């Protein structure tokens, strides 16, 4: 059974005395928040809170309630804060939970570990959460996100880690290059050709990161993700963990292999998703295995899926290249130059050269109608490129300034692409498909460093206004949502978009000093890490309830014998999605899959509502597959929030 790759979209936007039994609730890890439906559930950010921020949780009940008291209980079982669950229900989530009540406990400021307990008209106890400094709360998210990237490594320099990784795909060091295959109509990833057509090679495309739960490697997503890691390193400065800098440069080293400056060739992808309609060769998604097994696979039909993985070009050597992928790869190189400028000027100069040489190859006069992202494009259907070119230009300008070179040409180009973005591409917010927030913020920095030169195509005020547009769009939606979610949980990529709001809010705050959306950013972190209808964190290892059964081959096959996947800490999954994407159910298990959860029972099904379902199941690519871009968004959002607190 072929493994579908996630389809991606570009849309986005009266107090009672507590009994002695309740007052002495032990603070161990209790039962998971997601279990059979009962009268009440408490949903809280399981990662915790900063001392001075707004703190809110949600009480889900089976009917309207009154006279409900809440108590915050510490590790000794003592009540440290009490209050009443006041105010009206924020609305109904589903038939089982027709009322959701907010609980605000911002008076809790002392660092420590706590539980939230309610009694009276409803009884429930929350998972453990902490109150701690930004460096601890957000620092853990950064460190864990980097851990996921480490686990995604391919090639000879893998890190064993908890997944017991082994070197993989040595044959990628001498891969053959093939022409783009033809795909079946309707967005299918099935190839209609009888075979692939070799056009060149061998080339060294070894190393890099697996894109998601599969073993494909994409320049488009790797560049975006590496940009996020490098921007995180820059934002944290001396506070950045060593592992972050090392992993960001690991990604950049692979991108440097994918861009051949001598032949002016950008390689787009390594591997293919599905095989051909005739069944004469398979693709990556047709197999479920550990990656170190691939080069020893002698099955003829697996020659492209495993043993001799194909490489593909973004364009013919020396020919103009789709501007979206050019902009983001150039941005990654330029960001590397920025963080290396003082530490290693020679290395930074080489990275700057890579950025500028590629940036010059962008096909901005006649860009392809279908932007180049992946084969097939349906895996990552991007529709805008002005934001990517603005980003590339802004980062090159900042790199030029760091190296003492003229930034003027790149300031002018970035301003032109920013103007074009503002004229016709707005509507989304920061995520894989819209890089404008980071582009705007860094162009503002570059312009300020240049003395805000006059006569450019865009003004700082226009850039700032669009940053506000993006954060305000999320805040407006969150204001009307039961759990204050700013993202669209009825569509793909809600987790990436929501972590993106952490990025946008911090960038806007840095640019303007305006803290009016600070509480919104907290609400988005809360939703991502447990204060949602399902009571789960969507980032592995954060809190006490999180995905155990990701659609991730290495985690699934490296797990325990009870069917639980190995903890791929830091991985961010797609998140809730529209139930229509589950038509026909989850299907059977692919050959080699370890059934997870054991027995196939869905512990989160009782919380499906508002046209949204979350399923923690190894078969659930719709909600449970992690990816570089999603986790990278978490790293950058957390790093920027840490930097502004």
Question: Tens digit of pLDDT for each residue in 467-490?
Answer: 999 999 999 999 999 999 999 999
pLDDT, residue 15, reads 27
Is the pLDDT at 398 greater than 60? The verdict is yes
Of 65, 52, 40, the C-alpha closest to 116 is 40
Domains in the chain with CATH codes: 21-132 (2.60.40.10)
Span 537-546, mean pLDDT?
A: 97
pLDDT band at 129 (very low <50, low <70, confident <90, very high): very high
Q: Using only C-alpha atoms, what is the Rg of the chain?
A: 24
The region that residue 92 occupies, defined by phi over 0 for left and psi between -120 and 50 for alpha, beta otherwise, is beta
User: Residue 562 has what pLDDT?
Assistant: 58
**What confidence tens digit (pLDDT) does each residue in 138-195 have?**
999 999 999 999 999 999 999 999 999 999 999 999 999 999 999 999 999 999 999 9
pLDDT digits (tens, 9 = 90+) for 561-610: 555 667 999 999 999 999 999 998 899 999 999 999 988 788 899 999 99
* 3-class DSSP assignment, residue 198: strand
Provide, rounded to the nearest whole percent, the portion of the chain with pLDDT above 90. Answer: 90
- What backbone torsions phi and psi does residue 306 show, to the nearest 5 degrees? -135, -65
Q: How confident is the model at residue 560 (pLDDT cuts 50, 70, 90)?
A: low
Say whether pLDDT at 283 is over 50: yes
Query: Which two tokens mark 246?
Result: 């090392």
Long-range contacts at 598-607 (CB < 8 A, ≥ 24 apart): 598/562, 598/563, 598/564, 603/32, 603/34, 603/35, 604/34, 604/534, 604/536, 606/34, 606/36, 606/37, 606/96, 607/34, 607/93, 607/94, 607/97, 607/533, 607/534, 607/535
Give pLDDT, residue 598: 82
For residue 564, the model assigns a pLDDT of 66
Its pTM stands at: 0.94
pLDDT at 559: 78
**pLDDT band at residue 504 using 50, 70 and 90 as cut-offs:** very high
Cβ burial 369-396 (10 Å sphere, 16+ → b, else e): eebbbbbbbbbbbbebbbbbbbbbbbbb
Helix residue ranges per DSSP H, 11-62: 20-23
* 2 confidence band (pLDDT: 50, 70, 90): very low
131-157: string of b/e by CB count within 10 Å (b at 16+)?
bbebeebbbbbbbbbbbbbbbbbbbee
| Range of lowest pLDDT (440-454, 552-566, 600-614) | 552-566
pLDDT grade for 99, boundaries at 50, 70 and 90: very high
Give 418-428 pLDDT, tens digit per residue: 999 999 999 99
Average pLDDT, the chain: 93
């Amino acid at each position: 059974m072929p493994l579908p790759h996630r389809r991606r979209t570009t849309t986005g936007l009266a107090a009672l005395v507590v009994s002695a039994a309740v007052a002495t609730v032990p603070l161990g890890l209790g039962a998971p928040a997601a279990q059979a439906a009962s009268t009440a559930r408490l949903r809280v950010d399981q990662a915790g809170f900063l001392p001075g921020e707004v703190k809110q949780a949600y009480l889900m009940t089976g009917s309207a309630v009154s006279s409900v008291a809440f108590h915050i209980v510490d590790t000794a079982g003592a009540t440290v804060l009490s209050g009443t669950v006041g105010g009206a229900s924020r609305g109904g989530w589903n038939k089982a939970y027709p009322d959701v009540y907010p609980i605000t406990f911002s008076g809790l400021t002392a660092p420590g570990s706590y539980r939230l307990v309610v009694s009276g008209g409803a009884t429930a106890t929350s998972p453990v959460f902490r109150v701690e400094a930004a460096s601890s709360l957000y620092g853990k998210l950064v460190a864990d996100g980097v851990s996921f990237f480490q686990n995604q490594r391919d090639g000879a320099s893998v890190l064993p880690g908890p997944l017991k990784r082994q070197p993989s795909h040595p044959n990628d060091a001498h891969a053959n290059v093939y022409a783009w295959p033809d795909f079946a109509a309707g967005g299918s990833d099935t190839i209609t050709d009888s075979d692939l057509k070799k056009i060149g090679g061998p080339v060294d495309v070894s190393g890099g990161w697996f894109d998601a739960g599969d073993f494909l490697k994409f320049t488009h997503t790797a560049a975006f993700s590496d940009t996020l890691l490098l921007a995180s390193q820059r934002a944290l400065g001396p506070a950045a963990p060593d592992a972050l800098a090392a992993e960001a440069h690991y990604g950049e080293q692979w991108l440097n292999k994918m861009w051949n400056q001598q032949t002016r060739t950008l390689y787009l992808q390594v591997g293919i998703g599905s095989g051909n309609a005739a069944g004469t060769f398979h693709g990556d998604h047709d197999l479920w295995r550990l990656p170190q097994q691939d080069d020893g696979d002698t099955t003829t039909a697996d020659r492209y899926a495993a043993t001799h993985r194909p490489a593909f070009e973004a364009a013919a050597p020396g020919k103009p290249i789709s501007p979206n992928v050019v902009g983001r790869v150039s941005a990654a190189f330029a960001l590397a130059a920025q963080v290396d400028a003082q530490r290693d000027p020679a290395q930074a100069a080489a990275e700057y050269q890579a950025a500028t040489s590629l940036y010059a190859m962008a096909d901005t006069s006649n860009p392809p109608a279908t932007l180049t992202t992946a084969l097939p494009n349906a895996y990552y259907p991007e529709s805008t490129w002005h934001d990517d070119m603005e980003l590339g230009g802004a980062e090159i300008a900042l790199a030029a300034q760091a190296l003492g070179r003229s930034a003027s040409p790149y300031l002018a180009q970035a301003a032109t692409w920013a103007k074009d973005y503002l004229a016709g591409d707005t509507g989304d917010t920061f995520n894989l498909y819209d890089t404008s927030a980071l582009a705007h913020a860094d162009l503002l920095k570059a312009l300020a460093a240049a003395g805000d030169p006059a006569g450019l195509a865009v003004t700082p005020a226009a850039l700032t206004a669009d940053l506000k547009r993006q954060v305000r769009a999320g805040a407006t939606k969150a204001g009307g949502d039961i759990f204050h979610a700013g993202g669209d949980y009825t569509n793909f990529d809600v987790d990436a978009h929501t972590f993106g709001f952490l990025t946008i809010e911090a960038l806007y705050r840095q640019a303007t000093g305006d803290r009016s959306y600070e509480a919104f950013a907290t609400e988005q972190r809360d939703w991502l890490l447990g204060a949602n209808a399902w009571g789960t964190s969507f980032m592995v290892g954060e809190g006490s309830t999180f995905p155990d059964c990701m659609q991730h081959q290495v985690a699934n096959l490296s797990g325990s014998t009870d069917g639980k996947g190995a903890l791929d800490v830091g991985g961010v999954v797609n998140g809730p999605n529209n139930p229509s994407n589950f038509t026909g159910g989850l299907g059977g298990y692919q050959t080699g899959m370890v059934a997870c959860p054991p027995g196939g029972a869905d512990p989160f099904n009782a919380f499906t509502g508002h046209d949204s379902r979350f399923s923690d199941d190894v078969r659930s690519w719709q909600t449970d597959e992690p990816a570089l871009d999603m986790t990278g968004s978490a790293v950058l959002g957390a790093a920027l929030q840490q930097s502004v607190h």
